[in-house]
Amino acid sequence: MNSVAAHDRAAESLLAFWAEAGVDAMLLDEPVDRVAEGRIAPPPAPTPITAPRRPAFGAVAATVDVAAPLAEARRAAAAAQDVEALAVAIAAFEGCGLRFEGAASRSVFSRGRADAPLMVIGEGPGADEDAQGEPFVGRAGKLLDKMLAGAAIADRVFITNTVFWRPPGNRTPTPAEQLICAPFVERAIQLVAPRMLLLLGGAAAKFMLKRDEGILSLRGRWLEWKSEDGELEIPALPTLHPAFLLRQPAAKKRAWGDLLTLVERLDRPDRPA
């Protein structure tokens, strides 16, 4: 390509960028005295609007009445003696409002091995998952599968979410919705008995670990998930959600590094006591 053509293409690309940014004129009809403008006091800045903060995890039960559905979820989860029975219990559960708000008729519980050494936990199902009844089957799920296959652990995982019905508009599930579903997630962990957890995205990591830091602070750090009664502790590694990686491909390197860190620990022989 000659230099003139290359220059023209670069100029066209730059003009297109400015047009998309809203620039519609390169020169004005009348000159502007910038010095005089600088003598005019700027208008007062508008009062910033502060978005209400989500309640801390310990305050969820105090702000939303979840006592009755939570008790029901605990009873149903405790009665399930295997993963298949747990799936049936979740499908029959009507205590989570998401079932009646954004979801189709089916719940979305899990896929993968019921005795997997690694449990992968995301935040909630989207449209593809809602339609097919399995977690992580859309574009983000396909990327997750490629990453797991690349790390040679695709057949060693059990995949689920913190909630089992699609939130309206694919919004992030609230802590109250996650709290109501938590007994089923905990029972799944007890039944599968994984050696470690991989937590995908901020909503899953913050809720499972009861932390308020963002995912960019939590990712890549080994932390401990604890059961409600404190008797069960499992190493957990938060990482970036595949949906985020689709929007920010440059972040894939960090997520891949997290996955390699997890695989190294997963394959490390248990040390003698």
Which pLDDT score is estimated for 102? 73
Residue 86 near residue 181, CB atoms below 8 Å = no
pLDDT (tens digit per residue) in 82-111? 999 999 999 999 999 999 987 776 899 999
User: Over the chain, what is the mean pLDDT?
Assistant: 85
Residues 167-183 have a mean pLDDT of: 96
Above pLDDT 70, what percent of the chain?
75
Burial state string for 126-155 with b = 16 or more CB within 10 A and e = fewer than 16? bebbbeebbbbbbebbebbbebbeebebee
CA dihedral (95, 98, 101, 103) positive or negative: negative
User: How many Å is the maximal CA-CA distance in the chain?
Assistant: 82
Strand-pairing partners, residue 224, are 235
Q: What is the CATH number of domain 63-266?
A: 3.40.470.10
Q: What pLDDT, in 10s, does the model give residues 46-86?
A: 554 443 444 444 444 445 689 999 999 999 999 999 999 99
Tokens 């979305």: give the residue: 108
Give me the residue spans of the domains in the chain: 63-266
> What strands, in cross-sheet order, belong to the sheet with 157-161?
111-112, 157-161, 118-122, 196-200, 233-239, 223-226
pLDDT digits (tens, 9 = 90+) for 141-173: 999 999 999 999 999 999 999 999 999 999 999
